[in-house]
């Protein structure tokens, strides 16, 4: 028997029971649409957030937070000596008070090597971090965080380039000059800082001159040459760090986040797959009814020489046609919806990404579940005795 014969008989049967066929097509359509968009949103969420995370925390970095005694220049030198380490720099920090027109505010005073400042701020280039003014602090000229120069509530500009800052830190009162206004940035390297933290970035030499004369670093950034050796380098850094230090691997954070998002995506897909289950039950019920109503037809086909395998194939082809029609329309609607559908998460607008993997999965899963649902009653119909089937009324 030719495949074209299967198609013709299956198509004829679908026309005869077009009401149930349209219901099944609609069910497949909804299942494919929901599954495609769910997987697409999950994939977009993962891609967008991993990119954000990698650009923010610098995946080739290891962050060392010193213990009670902090880190010294000797510790930094030890980190640099580890095989696979490209560079290491200490981060200087102090807590102080800045006097503004709105009163006193607690501020963090941070000094980072200018080459490492973009990494600390979570940008690839300082041009992306500075709203106005200079890109690096110089002498008593400082860069100030977004929350210090701009009112978070009203958006009113509180400071300009050239403004004077009075800062009290370590029992000393300093006069500093604003030479750069920073955009709103945040990084895991800022040790938990957020958008509202008032931070003043000073030149490292000025820090040692005016704030802290001892070269003691609360934290350090270590850059690695090869991410494939990250775990080994992290263990070596851990062994060299002073007691009580905490080691944070940026790449490990990315991997953990990716795993978390992957699990979330699977969960969303599982919820969306409920529609597939409903459609499969419809297919099972429809095929069962069809087998019962076409018992005599099955007997005639067998009398004409059609085998049980031919009968089974006819029912499965019928299911495949219905499923394919629903999938085609469902995917078309999913592609249209992906151009207009926007999901806001954590301040980032996400649009579904219908990658080839998503399309294949959203196509094969409903087709497989529907075929399996149809197989059971179809096999029962295919195994009917032709003589008994011809006598069926």
Flag whether pLDDT at 180 surpasses 90. Answer: yes
Structural domain harbouring 146: 91-222
Pair 355, 302 in one domain: yes
CA 266 to CA 99: how far, in whole Å? 51
**Where is average pLDDT lowest: 197-206, 336-345, 376-385?**
336-345
The 3-class secondary structure across 360-391, one letter per residue, is HHHHHHHHHHHHHHHHHHHHHHHCCCHHHHHH
Pair 105, 205 in one domain: yes
Q: With contact defined as beta carbons under 8 Å apart, do 62 and 249 qualify?
A: yes
Pair 274, 346 in one domain: yes
Which pLDDT value is given to residue 52?
62
Task: Using the 3D structure, point to which of 204, 222, 240 is the last residue of a domain.
Answer: 222
Pair 208, 268 in one domain: no
Pair 120, 183 in one domain: yes
Q: What is the mean pLDDT of the chain?
A: 81
232 lies in some domain:
no
The domain total for the chain is: 2
Cα distances (angstroms) measured from residue 328 to each of 21, 333, 364: 15, 9, 12
Pair 140, 215 in one domain: yes
377 lies in some domain:
yes
Flag whether pLDDT at 202 surpasses 90. Answer: yes
Pair 45, 149 in one domain: no
Pair 128, 190 in one domain: yes
**Where is average pLDDT lowest: 94-108, 234-248, 253-267?**
253-267
331 lies in some domain:
yes
Pair 213, 267 in one domain: no
- Please write the tens of the pLDDT for every residue from 227-257: 778 888 888 999 999 988 988 876 666 666 6
Pair 302, 386 in one domain: yes
- Confidence band, pLDDT 50/70/90 cuts, at residue 188: very low
- Please write the tens of the pLDDT for every residue from 134-168: 999 999 999 999 888 988 778 788 899 999 999 99
The pTM of the full predicted model, rounded to 2 decimals, is 0.54
Pair 190, 264 in one domain: no
75 lies in some domain:
no
79 lies in some domain:
no
DSSP 115-184: TTHHHHHT-SSGGGTEEEE-SS-BTTEEEE-HHHHB-TTT--B---TT-EEEEEETTEEEEEEEEEEE-S
- Please write the tens of the pLDDT for every residue from 327-361: 898 889 988 888 887 766 555 667 788 888 888 88
Average pLDDT over residues 98-114: 87
Pair 156, 42 in one domain: no
273 lies in some domain:
yes
122 lies in some domain:
yes
300 lies in some domain:
yes
- Taking alpha carbons only, the member of 26, 32, 34 closest to residue 272 is 34
């Amino acid at each position: 028997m030719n495949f074209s014969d299967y198609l013709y008989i299956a198509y004829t049967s679908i026309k005869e029971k077009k009401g149930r066929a349209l219901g099944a097509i609609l069910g497949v359509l909804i299942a494919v649409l929901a599954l495609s968009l769910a997987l697409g949103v999950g994939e977009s969420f993962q891609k967008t957030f991993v990119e954000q995370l990698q650009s923010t925390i610098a995946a080739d970095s290891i962050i060392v937070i010193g213990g009670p005694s902090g880190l010294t220049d000797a510790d930094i030198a030890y980190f640099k000596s580890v095989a696979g380490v490209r560079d290491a720099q200490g981060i200087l920090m102090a807590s102080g008070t800045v006097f503004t027109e709105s009163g006193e505010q607690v501020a963090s005073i941070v000094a980072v090597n200018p080459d490492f400042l973009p990494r600390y701020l979570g940008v690839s280039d300082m041009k992306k971090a500075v709203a106005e003014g200079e890109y690096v602090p110089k002498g008593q000229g400082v860069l100030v965080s977004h929350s210090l120069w701009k009112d978070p509530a009203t958006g009113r500009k509180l400071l300009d380039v050239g403004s004077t800052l009075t800062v009290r830190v370590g029992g000393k009162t300093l006069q500093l000059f604003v030479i750069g206004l920073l955009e709103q940035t945040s990084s895991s390297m800022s040790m938990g800082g957020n958008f509202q933290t008032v931070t003043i970035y000073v030149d490292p030499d000025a820090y040692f001159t005016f704030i802290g004369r001892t070269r003691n670093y609360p934290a350090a950034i270590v850059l690695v040459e090869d991410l494939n050796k990250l775990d080994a380098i992290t263990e070596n850094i851990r062994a060299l760090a002073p007691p009580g230090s905490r080691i944070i691997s940026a790449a490990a954070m990315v991997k953990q986040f990716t795993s978390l998002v992957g699990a979330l995506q699977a969960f969303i897909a599982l919820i969306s797959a409920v529609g597939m289950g409903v459609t499969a039950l419809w297919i099972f019920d429809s095929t069962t009814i069809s087998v019962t109503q076409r018992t005599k037809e099955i007997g005639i086909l067998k009398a004409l020489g059609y085998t049980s395998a031919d009968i089974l194939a006819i029912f499965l082809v019928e299911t495949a046609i219905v499923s394919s029609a629903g999938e085609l329309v469902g995917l078309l609607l999913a592609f249209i919806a992906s151009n207009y559908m926007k999901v806001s998460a954590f301040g980032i607008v996400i649009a579904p990404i219908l990658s080839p993997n998503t399309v294949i999965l959203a196509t094969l899963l409903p087709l497989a579940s529907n075929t399996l649902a149809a197989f059971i009653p179809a096999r029962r119909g295919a195994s009917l005795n032709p003589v008994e089937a011809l006598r069926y009324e």
